[in-house]
Structure formats: structure tokens, C-alpha cells
């Protein structure tokens, strides 16, 4: 996953540079980026069904191989329409990697270690994503093809490592009666967590720099503030995951949602760089809990032969949140003011914090459940 998201962080900014050099408009550059997330979203659920049928390992190996090939092609294609095609292939491959890895971790984890292992997973994602732009732009300045070829080599190496070292999780194709069979209403909380996480990450990454620039924040300070969100997410993963395994995943998720709602409201209170950095670290830490804890909850409430589809439903929600976040936040900012970049996620986080105890009341968990 670190290699996969290294590619995500590496490719997105570099493709924009390559397309710009070829005369593509900003609108076209944006559409090319959207194509990847749209393909990721649409492919998630079918790939989850496939994972339940054939097992997570072959899906993961194929996804890594296809991902590496798609990244390699960016070094050689010239026509703009081919960028759309290859980005779509990349999105399908990324969905295969995410769904298969998340399913596999849940299969191989015991109850008391599931949140911690998902924390390691989220940590790998964050580190890969953070290192991508830095390493990609440095290599791109030497030769434009180097980062793409390098990512292809790393993806191939990851595929070989998985095929040699990761145990095969048995498929359950003989138990499947339909694509949506066995999907429980208990998934409302973790799937909603994926939706909220996708919305937060995409809307803030896209529009937070615009908000800061309108506040008169200098470019260097802006970079420090945005980096603070990533630092908070990375630093908090393992400690919070351990707390969740000890005190309960639902309880930890609820505390994080309440904290998020308050932090987003606080973000509108001042405009100083130190204040923004401090709140950004806390937002990164609290929002970063949504992804691993929601996945860990899925692993405990879904039967093993349905894990692929349940995980894919989470990815589907995450993808939908990622696609809708920037547009919804941008429209709200235009109509109601810039502060609604934070008021809207505060409302969503508060709603999510009410959803957790409501679902617990309507569908009480068993003693061995998520806590």
C-alpha cells in the first residue's frame, strides 16, 4: 500500500505538469484526475465480489501488476485521450489493491489486533502519499520518465513479494448467492465513516489552499499548514489504533467524530499561522482515525465469505465522498462564504457522531463485537 499510494502522490502532480506542457487546459487536467477516482469508485464493488470468489491474494497481485503497467505508460503516451484511458485503468488497479489488501488484513487479524493492524495499513497509505510528490518532482526534474519507470519497478517488486510471502486466503465462491447477499445494516456506521473520510480529504486538499491564500497566508506557511495535517494523521495512527483495540472501536470513533466537529468550528476562529498549524495537526489525527477504525469494524461484523464485498462497499462510499467533496464544498463556499469549508464538515462530523450511538441503540452489538 505504501508503494501504491507513493504512485498516487507521485503521478497526480506529474501528470498535471505533463498535460500542461502539451497544452491541455486546466479543465482537461481536472477531468483526467477525476477519471481515476471515478474508475476507482465504479470498480470497487465488482472487485469486492471477485475477491470473495477467488480470494484476495490473486486480486492483489493482478492489481499491483496492472497498476505498475499503467504508471509506466504515462512516460510514453502523447495523445491527451490516452491519458483518460490509462488513468481509468490506474483507477481500476488501485481499487483492486485497496479492496484486496483491506480484505486480507481483516481475514488475517484477530479481534484484539485488528484496529492496530489497520492502523499500520493507514500509516503506510499516509507515508506513501506524503512521499510521492517530493520524490516524484525531484526525479522528474532529472528526467521526465524516471519517476514513472521507478514506480513501475516498485509495483512489480511488490507484486512479487505478495505472491511469494503473503498467505493465500481461501475463496468462498461456493457460498455466494448474489452480489449483495449477506450485506448487513450494521455496515451503516463504517460505510458512513468511509464516506465522511473521502469527503474530508478531497475537499480540504482541493480548497484549503484557496482558503488560506484568501486569508493572506504566504506560500511557505501554507505548505507548513497542509503538511501539518499529514503529520497529524501519520503520528496518530498507531496510538489511536491501540486505544481502539483496548477501549472499543465504536467508542474511539465516536470520540474522534466529536473532536472533529469542534476542531472544524475552531478553524474559523482565527487566521494566524501557528493557530492553523496546531488545529491542522489535530484535524489530521482525528480524521485519520476514520479510515482504519471503520475497516476494523467491518472485519468484526461481516462474515469472512462476505468481507470482499463489504470492504468494496466501504471503498465505494470513500470514492463517492472523494468525488463529491470538492464540488459540494466549493458550491457552499460560493453561496454562503469561505468559512463553510469548515462549517459543512463540522455538521457532517456531528451528524456522524449522532449516527454511531443511534445505530448501537437500534442494532445492539454482541458481547464479542466492536466495543
What digits encode the pLDDT tens for the residues 283-315?
988 888 888 888 888 888 888 778 888 888 888
Q: Compute and round to an integer the Cα radius of gyration of the chain.
A: 20
Instruction: Determine what percent of the chain is predicted with pLDDT higher than 90.
Output: 20
Q: Are 224 and 273 in contact (CB under 8 A)?
A: yes
- Are 134 and 198 members of one domain? no
With 50 as the cut, is the pLDDT of residue 161 above it?
yes
Residue 16 lies in a domain: yes
281 located within any domain: yes
Provide the 3-class DSSP secondary structure of residue 37: helix
- The confidence score (pLDDT) of residue 365 equals 58
Give me the residue label for grid cell 472533529: 260
Residue 26: its pLDDT value, please? Answer: 66
Do 247 and 102 fall into the same domain? no
Task: Supply the pLDDT for residue 370.
Answer: 42
270 & 139 share domain: no
pLDDT-derived band at 181 (thresholds 50, 70, 90) equals very low
Please, is 6 exposed, middle or buried when counting C-beta atoms within 10 Å of its C-beta (0-12, 13-18, 19+)?
Answer: buried
Q: Give the span between the Cα atoms of 102 and 96, in whole angstroms.
A: 10
- Final residue in a domain of this structure, among 171, 200, 221: 171
Q: Sign of dihedral through CA atoms 99, 104, 110, 112?
A: negative
* pLDDT tier, 262 (very low <50, low <70, confident <90, very high otherwise): very high
- Does 193 lie in the same domain as 160? no
| CA 260 to centroid of chain Cα atoms | 17
Q: How many CB atoms lie within 10 A of CB 305?
A: 18
Handedness of CA 200, 10, 13, 133 (dihedral sign): positive
Range of the domain at 62: 2-171
Q: Is the same domain home to 224 and 105?
A: no
174 pLDDT above the threshold of 70:
no
Tens-digit pLDDT profile for residues 112-160: 788 888 888 888 877 777 777 667 767 777 887 888 888 888 889 889 9
- Given a cut of 60, is residue 223 above it in pLDDT? yes
Cα torsion 111, 115, 120, 124 to 10°: value is 120
For the CA atoms of 356, 360, 361, 366, what is the dihedral angle to 10 degrees? -170
Per-residue confidence (pLDDT) for residue 177, from 0 to 100? 46
Give the count of domains, the chain: 2
Q: Are residues 201 and 115 part of one domain?
A: no
Residue that is written with C-alpha cell 489504533 in the block? 241
Residue 322: is its pLDDT beyond 60?
yes
Same-domain status, 207 and 151: no
Angle made by CA atoms 157, 308, 7, in degrees to the nearest 5: 35
* In-domain check, residue 332: yes
353 band by pLDDT with thresholds 50, 70 and 90 = very high
Count of C-beta atoms within a 10 Å radius of residue 258: 17
CA distance 347 to 18: 38
177 occurs within a structural domain: no
Would 198 be classed as within a structural domain? yes
Residue identified by cell 516498485 is 154
How many C-beta atoms lie closer than 10 Å to residue 230's C-beta? 17
The residues near 270 (Cβ < 8 Å, ≥ 6 apart) are: 276
Give the end of a domain, one of 142, 171, 200: 171
Domain shared by 214 and 107, yes or no? no
Q: What pLDDT does 111 receive?
A: 73
Residue 149 and residue 215 in one domain: no
**What pLDDT is stored for residue 364 in this prediction?**
65
192, 133: one domain: no
Among candidate residues 250, 276, 249, the one with its CA nearest the CA of residue 264: 276
Q: Which of 28-37, 149-158, 186-195, 241-250 has the lowest mean pLDDT?
A: 28-37
Query: Could you say which of 141, 171, 201 is where a domain stops?
Result: 171
**In this predicted structure, what is the pLDDT of residue 160?**
92
180 within a domain of the structure (yes/no): no
The answer to whether residue 371 sits within a structural domain is: no
- The number of residues in the chain equals 371
CATH value at residue 74: 1.20.1250.20
**Do 314 and 203 share a structural domain?**
yes
Whole-structure pTM value: 0.77
Alpha carbon distance 203, 139 (integer Å): 28
Is position 344 within any domain?
Answer: yes
pLDDT of residue 175: 47
pLDDT for 367 equals 41
Grid coordinates standing for 125?
497509505
So what's the pLDDT on residue 302? 83
Average pLDDT, the chain: 82
Which residues contact residue 163 at a Cβ distance below 8 angstroms, ignoring those fewer than 6 apart? 57, 61
Query: Are 200 and 308 in the same domain?
Result: yes
Give the Cα separation of 240 and 315 in Å (integer). 22
Amino acid at each position: 500500500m505504501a508503494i501504491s499510494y507513493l504512485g498516487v502522490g507521485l503521478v497526480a502532480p506529474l501528470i498535471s505538469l505533463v498535460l500542461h506542457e502539451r497544452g491541455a487546459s486546466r479543465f482537461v487536467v481536472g477531468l483526467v484526475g477525476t477519471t481515476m477516482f471515478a474508475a476507482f469508485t465504479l470498480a470497487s464493488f465488482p472487485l469486492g465480489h471477485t475477491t470473495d470468489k477467488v480470494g484476495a491474494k490473486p486480486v492483489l497481485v493482478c492489481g499491483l501488476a496492472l497498476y505498475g503497467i499503467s504508471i509506466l505508460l504515462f512516460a510514453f503516451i502523447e495523445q491527451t485521450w490516452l491519458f483518460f484511458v490509462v488513468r481509468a485503468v490506474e483507477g481500476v488497479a488501485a481499487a483492486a489493491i485497496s479492496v484486496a489488501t483491506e480484505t486480507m488484513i481483516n481475514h488475517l487479524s484477530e479481534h484484539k489486533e485488528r484496529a492496530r493492524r489497520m492502523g499500520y495499513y493507514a500509516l503506510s497509505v499516509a507515508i506513501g502519499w506524503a512521499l510521492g510528490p517530493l520524490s516524484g518532482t525531484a526525479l522528474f526534474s532529472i528526467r521526465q520518465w524516471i519517476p514513472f519507470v521507478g514506480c513501475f519497478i516498485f509495483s512489480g517488486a511488490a507484486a512479487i513479494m505478495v505472491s511469494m510471502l503473503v498467505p493465500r486466503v481461501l475463496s468462498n465462491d461456493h457460498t455466494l448467492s448474489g452480489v449483495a447477499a449477506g450485506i448487513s445494516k450494521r455496515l451503516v456506521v463504517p460505510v458512513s465513516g468511509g464516506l465522511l473520510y473521502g469527503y474530508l480529504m478531497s475537499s480540504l486538499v482541493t480548497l484549503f489552499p484557496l482558503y488560506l491564500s484568501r486569508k493572506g497566508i504566504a506560500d511557505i506557511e501554507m505548505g507548513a499548514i497542509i503538511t501539518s495535517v499529514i503529520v497529524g494523521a501519520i503520528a496518530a495512527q498507531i496510538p489511536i489504533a491501540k486505544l481502539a483495540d483496548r477501549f472499543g472501536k465504536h467508542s474511539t470513533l465516536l470520540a474522534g467524530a466529536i473532536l472533529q466537529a469542534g476542531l472544524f468550528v475552531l478553524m474559523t476562529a482565527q487566521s494566524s499561522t501557528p493557530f492553523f498549524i496546531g488545529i491542522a495537526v489535530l484535524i489530521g489525527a482525528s480524521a485519520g482515525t476514520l479510515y482504519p477504525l471503520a475497516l476494523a469494524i467491518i472485519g468484526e461484523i461481516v462474515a469472512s465469505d462476505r468481507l470482499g464485498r463489504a470492504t468494496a462497499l466501504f471503498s465505494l462510499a470513500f470514492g463517492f465522498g472523494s468525488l463529491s467533496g470538492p464540488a459540494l464544498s466549493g458550491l457552499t463556499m460560493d453561496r454562503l462564504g469561505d468559512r463553510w469549508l469548515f462549517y459543512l464538515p463540522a455538521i457532517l462530523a456531528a451528524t456522524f457522531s449522532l449516527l454511531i450511538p443511534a445505530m448501537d441503540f437500534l442494532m445492539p452489538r454482541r458481547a464479542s463485537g466492536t466495543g
